[in-house]
Structure 1
Amino acid sequence: MNNFNVVMKKEFVQIVREFKIIWLPLAFIFLGITQPVVSYYLPSILKALGGAQGITIDSSMAAQQGGEVLASTLASQFDQLGVMIIAISMMGVIQTDKVNGMLAFILTRPVTVFSYISGKISSNYIFVACSAALGYVISYLYVNLLFSNVIFVDMVIALLFYLLWVLFMVSFTTMISTVFNSQGVIALISIVFLLGCRIVVGLNPIIDLINPASMSKNAMEVLISGAVDAKEMWNVIVALISIVLTILITNFWISNKKFNNE
């Protein structure tokens, strides 16, 4: 446990040094604000700019419910730019230690591979989850101000679902950062795979069951319908299994490979 704490403290120091503590929360705050503000003012902007051009304004845009707008924040902002931001912020989480020889040095100390990995994932997840939650809460406040109120309990349940999807993104990117040595390749593979997972959500019930990105879909359904389906618990179990699998692969890769200044 002491080794785990040391790794976590080291990672938090690195987060501060790389200024992630500033730009990552600001990025999610911006994403959280964008959707409700654009949804509220877009009809007026289009009407003002294109009123004489024959543009038809869909009256339903102005009549959106708060839950729908907050759900669209997850779908249109967090699950697009947000995924890219998380992948980019995490791409060097282990790759940097491999390149500068720190990983090889750390593993010569009385530090287990699992303590190292769990410390890395836990510290980064806490930070990324707090950043995403901050942007989500800001969006929730704007939605309540500009649209109808969203039930607080629904907002919290949806956030918990979404944070499980965030945990998978963090653990998957950590795994890719372990396997590959180029940050560009790590970011590309992570972004393509995670966005691909999100894109195929809803195409097939079987795919949805084994797809961790279904957590985002479940969060949206809670916000829109205000109900939690029993089948969503199976999605949670499968998502947790997927997260454990990525951690085991990361642990196996580090345990069975020599990391030098290659």
Structure 2
Amino acid sequence: MSQWFTLINKEFMEMARNYKWIWIPVSFILLGVMDPLTTYYMPQILDSVGGLPEGAVIEIPTPSANEVFIMSLGEYQTIGILIIALSSMGVVAGERKSGVAQMILVKPVSYISYLSSKWASAVILIMVSLFFGLLASWYYTGVLFNFIPFGDFMSAFSLYGIWITLVVTIVIFCSSVFIQPGAAGAVSLAIVIIINLIGSTFSHLMQWSPTQLLQYATEVLVLDTWPDNIWFAIGITFLLIIILLACAVAVFKNKELAD
């Protein structure tokens, strides 16, 4: 166990040297505050750009606080996932390419400890960033519109965080399969996009799908109730995370032994 914590500490120090502890949380916070600010100041923005004909009046209905917060969740579903892929695609592939992975694995370090430490450190970084990003969105939504109950905020964060953990796991899996970080990032993004397309297209048949967790998070915010299939979707998501981690270890070990 001490070896695993040593590896975790190494990953945290590497993230600090690459300024990931700064630019990723800042990026997530900017994503979080973007929708509340732009939605609230949209009339002023339209007036300042002068894009309306003289005498034209456009009445924009004021959205509810829940709708504004849900828009922020949508930002993480697009730009946020791209940031995750770019920041994590070289976690394993980069060290394989540079030879650092071989140097570490020469020592009595197990493949499970090596990969699980990288996965855990990446998840911690992204979860901290996501929490502060959504917290900033919750705060500005409350100041400019109305405050959402903090319990509902935590429920939405927890549900969406489970989905984001699966996304991080997919990126780590691809990073352990491909030696080129760019290939790992591209394939992981393609997998997430395909999963989202399938889940949204067949949502009525795949209510257990991990892609439904965002929809369930919005239902918790809007309806203040937990959908019937939510625990099934959570269970499937955790099962996929475990399977992907096990496959990552097996594939990475075989590739290293072959090399």
User: Is the CA contact (8 Å cut-off) linking 2:219 and 2:227 kept in structure 1?
Assistant: no
2:227 maps to 229
Report what 1:12 is aligned to.
Answer: 12
Amino acid in structure 1 at the alignment position of 2:111: V
Which has the larger displacement, 107-116 or 175-184? 107-116
**Matches of 1:57 and 1:200, distance apart in 2:** 37
Distance of 2:224 and 2:208 partners within structure 1: 21
- Is 1:25 paired with 2:25? yes
Partner of 2:51: 50
Q: Contact (CA 8 Å) 1:80, 1:195: kept in 2 or not?
A: no
From 134, 145, 148, the counterpart of 1:147: 145
Within 1, Cα distance between the matches of 2:180 and 2:21?
Answer: 24
Provide Cα deviations, 1:194-252, integer angstroms capped at 9, x if missing partner: 23333444332333423x22222221221222211121111000111111111011011
Change beyond 3 A, Cα 1:55–1:102? farther
Partner residue of 1:138 out of 136, 139, 144: 136
Q: Does the 8 Å contact 2:65/2:148 carry over to 1?
A: yes
Q: Which of 76, 83, 86 is the matching residue for 1:85? A: 83
> Which residue number corresponds to residue 101 of structure 2?
103
Task: Return the offset for 1:43.
Answer: 3.2
* C-alpha distance after superposition, 1:143-169 (max 9, x if no partner): 001112211111000000011111111
Runs of 5+ consecutive residues of structure 2 not aligned to the other structure: none
Does the alignment pair 1:70 with 2:69? yes
TM-score between the two structures when normalised by the length of structure 2: 0.92
CA distance in 1, matches of 2:223, 2:198: 21
Question: 1:4–1:119: 8 Å Cα contact kept in structure 2?
Answer: yes
Contact preservation (8 Å) 1:71, 1:224:
no
Identical counterparts, % of pairs: 27
Secondary structure, aligned partner of 1:206: coil
Distance in 2 separating the partners of 1:223 and 1:58:
26
Gaps of 5+ in 1: none
TM-score (norm: length of structure 1):
0.91
Distance, in Å, in 1 between the alignment partners of 2:98 and 2:227 is: 48
Query: Aligned to 1:213, what secondary structure does the other structure show?
Result: helix
Tell me the alpha carbon deviations over residues 88-116 of structure 1, each in whole angstroms, 9 at most, x when there is no partner: 00010101111122222222222221111
1:220 to 215, 218, 236: 218
Q: Is the 8 A contact 1:47 1:57 kept in 2?
A: no
Root mean square deviation, CA, Å: 1.9
- Does 2:34 correspond to 1:37? no
CA apart distance, 1:83: 0.5
Alpha carbons 2:207, 2:229 under 8 Å: kept: no
Instruction: Kindly provide the CA deviation profile for residues 130-155 of structure 1, in whole angstroms up to 9, marking residues without a partner as x.
Output: 01111110000000011122111110
Q: Which amino acid aligns with 2:183?
A: V
The 3 A distance-change label for structure 1 pair 54 and 189 is farther
**Structure-1 separation of matches of 2:165 and 2:208:** 17
Q: What secondary structure, in the 3-state scheme, does the structure 1 residue paired with 2:124 have?
A: helix
- Tell me if the contact between 2:89 and 2:185 (Cα under 8 Å) persists in the aligned partners: yes
* Equivalent position of 1:169 in the other structure: 167
Cα distance, 1:56–1:168 mapped onto 2, change above 3 Å: farther
Distance in 2 of aligned mates of 1:246 and 1:197: 14
Deviates more, 1:138-147 or 1:190-199: 190-199
Query: Counterpart of 1:119 in 2: which secondary structure?
Result: helix
Compute the displacement of 1:55 (Å). 6.1
Distance across 2 between alignment mates of 1:56 and 1:221: 33
Paired residue secondary structure (1:170): helix
Aligned equivalents of 2:197, 2:218: Cα separation in 1: 14
